[in-house]
Structure 1
């Protein structure tokens, strides 16, 4: 019974991690795209697109880990998910949620989604 609950818990953590790495970079790329393209040298735009592609790859990794955690929750040998994937997912999710909570308590706005590009 305990192993099954851990599989569900890790699946939920991976779900939140995948959402973080998809929603925040996608929103920021869309919101800042006009500002990024206003520079005469497009290196910053290309770099931001590169980082967005890396974030999408991370999303795919965590979607697969989430599905694997839910499917293998009854496996007696464990989830067979690498410790690095678990650790990075848990730590990054806690850091981002903490940042968003502190930002909300200080400024009464949702972090990342309340940011606007400079004029």
Structure 2
């Protein structure tokens, strides 16, 4: 299978475990009026961690393509706030990405306020 980046298995395993754990916790904490959800970026955000990974894989940045990557993580903060404001009995056990959360919870369809490269 060639359509996958090498070295991503541990990340994927951790991500799947996080998502399953959050759904289980949502069920367990329902009676205590506590909601549990996950939030992921819909596209890569060009921040310190991604810079570090790029530097270790390509020290001279010769072939780094920033096209489509977000310039900052503000969209994640806004999506998180939308989740916090939502009815905790309705929004729990959900696996959101930033744009999906803002679409569903805030009705947002225009994401141009969140700059990309």
TM over 0.5: no
RCO greater where, 1 or 2, for CA within 8 Å and sep 6 or more? 1
- In terms of fraction of residues, the more strand-rich structure is 2
TM-score by length of 1: 0.31
- In terms of fraction of residues, the more helix-rich structure is 1
TM-score by length of 2: 0.31
